[in-house]
Chains A and B, each alone.
Chain A
Amino acid sequence: MIILGIETSCDDTAVAVLNEKGKILSNVLSSQDEFHRDFGGIVPEIASRKHAELIGYVIKEALNLSSKTLKNIDIVSVTYGPGLVGSLLVGVEAAKAISFSLNVPLIGVNHLEGHIYSLFLESSPLCQINNPFPLLILIVSGGHTELVLMKKHLSYQLIGKTRDDAVGEALDKFARALGYSYPGGPAIEKLGRKGDPHFYHFPRLNFKGSPYEFSYSGLKTAGIYYLNQHKNEIENHINDIAASFEEASTDILVQRTLRAAKDFNVKAIGVVGGVSANKRLREKFAKKSSMDVYFPGPNLSTDNAAMIAMAGAMRYKAGQTSDLCLDAVSRLKLA
């Protein structure tokens, strides 16, 4: 069984080819970063124009690299939300055209479900474990900061999320205030590696009675306020400031996740989404967690289509397919 996955929920046009074991045969991603950089963030109309321009070629390239042809495709899986509706629609329409023309099942996948299933690709150690449930998932990216409990495959219970900004968003905005262009997360990480994380103590807000909730708007504001108040320090201590901000951001994530893992008595923890690539976050989990913490393999933390194909394969096995009415849903919920 060959699965073609398509992901166009934000600014990357991504297509992957997977086999039934979850082995990645190809995983192609065309980044639009350069087109959005001038605007300091993603411009939805640019994103959908680029997707419409690239989608066919990225599909062709993914097939070529996997040494498969259109005839080999057995299932087509596509992200239908959450995300930018104009971007999602391009992937959804392309997938529907494949389903119609090749007469293969179409499966609509939630983007966050895709991130979760990046942990179950063949290369990942989590799929070597017979029954990892209950499994606690921390989803961290530019758009999401959520804790999700999985008692079995394809079943999700939301137990906590951010009240305002996502962690990736806070990192992006802070990087921008430091003079680094979009996307800012990797810039903070790079600077922070050479800095002292205890140089300055940024606030780590806790909510009484809501131990699994996050807030990053306060941290972001505190960060930008600090920069405005300490303009002279920025030049000499930019690495220390970045490290301190990263330290606060990741502390909050680890603290909430380990608390939830204990309270819900889970067997393991999975951390997914763009920010899960952050080295400091990975080190901190390794140091502080008494149970196994799993992360996506190299290059599978950020948006990609292999994870969408994997989630689609799981849904197909569970008998859940979509019809050609499938619509893009920008605020699609996981649970």
Chain B
Amino acid sequence: MNGLCINNAFSPTMIVFSSEEKLFFSVAENPPSKQPNNILYVVENMMELFSFSPKDIDFISVVKGPGSFTGTRIGVVEGKMLAFLLNIPLVALNSLELIASCFEKEVVPVIPVGRNAYFVSRFNFGKRIEQDLCINLEELLQIEATIITPVSSLKNVLKEKRVIVHIPTFNEFAKKSFEKFTEGSIVDDPLSLTPTYLRSVNLIFKGKK
């Protein structure tokens, strides 16, 4: 069983192609400003380099957010289209769950999103104990528990707090993907998958007006 795992919801963009035993190839990209939408170009070239073809992919795992709107959307569209086109199962990972799954204790994963907005949740030994929320800095500062974030600059913002900067490793990403796949957490109809946005367009629109 080989899984192609794609994260484009938060930086860095990660592409992992792996079986349960062996990681065949992995790529991380952290483009400075440009939209990171060359994922399929990278996948095609890496597969060719390692003598794989799309037929060798047994399932797709994609991070469905919350995270960057555009980035997540690109990842989700690619993930669901690949699963549909290749007629293989689709696994959708929550970004906060993925980050928390790397820690065996109670943690609050945080992804900062633009001006004074933070996606947060709470997990204990990888098990969800709170719903995902979008909160402001004031609310974030009131949180007790270890904060885990892939964004190092958050450390400066939360000086007093216990913050661990951690980007899931390729192995952790693959492991979580296989775990979901094996337990049968598969999207019923791949085409139905939409990103987890957390913020409604009405709110964003009013904020800009």
Residue from A43, A52, A327 in contact with B73 in the complex, judged by beta carbons closer than 8 Å: A52
Chain B, 176-209, CB within 8 A of any chain A CB: 190-191, 194-195, 197, 201, 204-205
Q: Mask for A298-335, Cβ within 8 A of B = 1, else 0?
A: 00000000000000000000000001110110000000
Residue from A39, A89, A93, A103 in contact with B81 in the complex, judged by beta carbons closer than 8 Å: A93
Contact A98 B73 (CB under 8 A): no
Tally A residues with Cβ within 8 Å of B: 32
Residue from A43, A70, A89 in contact with B201 in the complex, judged by beta carbons closer than 8 Å: A43
Q: Which of A55-63, A222-230, A245-253 contacts B (4 or more CB under 8 A)?
A: A55-63
Contact B194 A45 (CB under 8 A): no
Q: Taking the complex as formed, is B35 at the interface, i.e. its CB lies under 8 A from any CB of chain A?
A: yes
Interface centre among A49, A57, A100 (most CB of B within 10 A): A100
Q: Mask for B64-104, Cβ within 8 A of A = 1, else 0?
A: 00000110011011101110111000000000000000000
Chain B, 160-180, CB within 8 A of any chain A CB: none
Query: Least Cβ distance of B197 to chain A in Å?
Result: 7
Residue from B41, B74, B190, B191 in contact with A325 in the complex, judged by beta carbons closer than 8 Å: B41
Contact B44 A100 (CB under 8 A): yes
Q: Taking the complex as formed, is A97 at the interface, i.e. its CB lies under 8 A from any CB of chain B?
A: yes
Chain B, 28-47, CB within 8 A of any chain A CB: 35, 37-38, 40-41, 43-44
Contact B37 A56 (CB under 8 A): no
Contact B77 A45 (CB under 8 A): no
Q: Taking the complex as formed, is A258 at the interface, i.e. its CB lies under 8 A from any CB of chain B?
A: no
Query: Least Cβ distance of B111 to chain A in Å?
Result: 18
Residue from A46, A55, A86, A93 in contact with B40 in the complex, judged by beta carbons closer than 8 Å: A93
Contact status of A52 and B76, CB under 8 A, knowing A89-B35, A89-B70? yes
User: What residue in chain A is nearest B43 (Cβ atoms)?
Assistant: A100
Cα–Cα, bound, A152→B43 (Å): 38
Contact A93 B78 (CB under 8 A): yes
**Dominant secondary structure of chain B at its interface with chain A:** helix
Query: Least Cβ distance of B149 to chain A in Å?
Result: 24
Contact A92 B204 (CB under 8 A): no
Q: How large is the interface on B (under 10, 10 to 19, 20 to 34, 35 or more residues)?
A: 20 to 34
Cα–Cα, bound, A90→B41 (Å): 16
Cα–Cα, bound, A327→B195 (Å): 21
Contact A45 B201 (CB under 8 A): yes
Query: Least Cβ distance of B189 to chain A in Å?
Result: 9
Contact A90 B77 (CB under 8 A): yes
Cα–Cα, bound, A46→B197 (Å): 12
Contact A103 B54 (CB under 8 A): yes
| Chain B residues within 8 Å of A45, by CB | 69, 201, 204-205
| Chain A residues within 8 Å of B43, by CB | 100
Contact A86 B70 (CB under 8 A): yes
Contact B81 A97 (CB under 8 A): yes
Residue from B35, B38, B78, B195 in contact with A97 in the complex, judged by beta carbons closer than 8 Å: B78
| Chain B residues within 8 Å of A290, by CB | none
Chain A, 23-67, CB within 8 A of any chain B CB: 39, 43, 45-46, 48-49, 52-53, 55-57, 60
User: What residue in chain A is nearest B204 (Cβ atoms)?
Assistant: A45
Contact B74 A89 (CB under 8 A): yes
| Chain B residues within 8 Å of A86, by CB | 69-70, 73
Query: Least Cβ distance of B145 to chain A in Å?
Result: 32
Contact status of A48 and B73, CB under 8 A, knowing A97-B81, A100-B54? yes
Contact A89 B73 (CB under 8 A): yes
| Chain B residues within 8 Å of A236, by CB | none
Query: Least Cβ distance of A164 to chain B in Å?
Result: 24
Contact A325 B54 (CB under 8 A): no
Contact A93 B77 (CB under 8 A): yes
User: What residue in chain A is nearest B42 (Cβ atoms)?
Assistant: A324
Q: Mask for B10-37, Cβ within 8 A of A = 1, else 0?
A: 0000000000000000000000000101
11 A-B pairs with CB atoms under 8 Å apart are A49-B195, A49-B201, A56-B190, A89-B70, A90-B73, A93-B74, A94-B77, A100-B44, A101-B82, A325-B38, A327-B35
- Additional pairs, 19, CB under 8 Å, beyond known A46-B201, A56-B191, A86-B69: A39-B205, A45-B201, A49-B201, A53-B194, A56-B84, A60-B191, A85-B35, A86-B73, A93-B37, A93-B40, A93-B81, A96-B40, A97-B78, A98-B81, A100-B40, A100-B43, A100-B54, A101-B81, A328-B35
* List of 4 A-B pairs having minimum Cβ-Cβ separation, nearest first: A56-B191, A97-B81, A101-B85, A324-B41
